[in-house]
Amino acid sequence: MSEHADIVVVQYPRGVRALVWLDLVTGAIATTHAGLRDTLRRGVKDWEGHLVCPHDGHIFMSAVYDHFFLSGYPVQWLSVSGIKDVRNAYRV
Beta bridge partners of 23: 5
Q: DSSP code of 26?
A: T
Task: Sort 78 into a burial class: Cβ within 10 Å, 0-12 / 13-18 / 19+.
Answer: exposed
Q: Give the pLDDT confidence score for residue 14 in this predicted structure.
A: 87
- Tens of pLDDT along the chain (92 residues)? 667 899 999 999 888 899 999 999 899 999 999 989 999 999 999 889 899 999 999 999 999 999 999 999 999 999 988 766 667 788 89
- Residue ranges covered by each domain of the chain: 4-84
Total-model pTM: 0.88
**Contact between residue 81 and residue 4 where contact means Cβ atoms under 8 Å apart:** yes
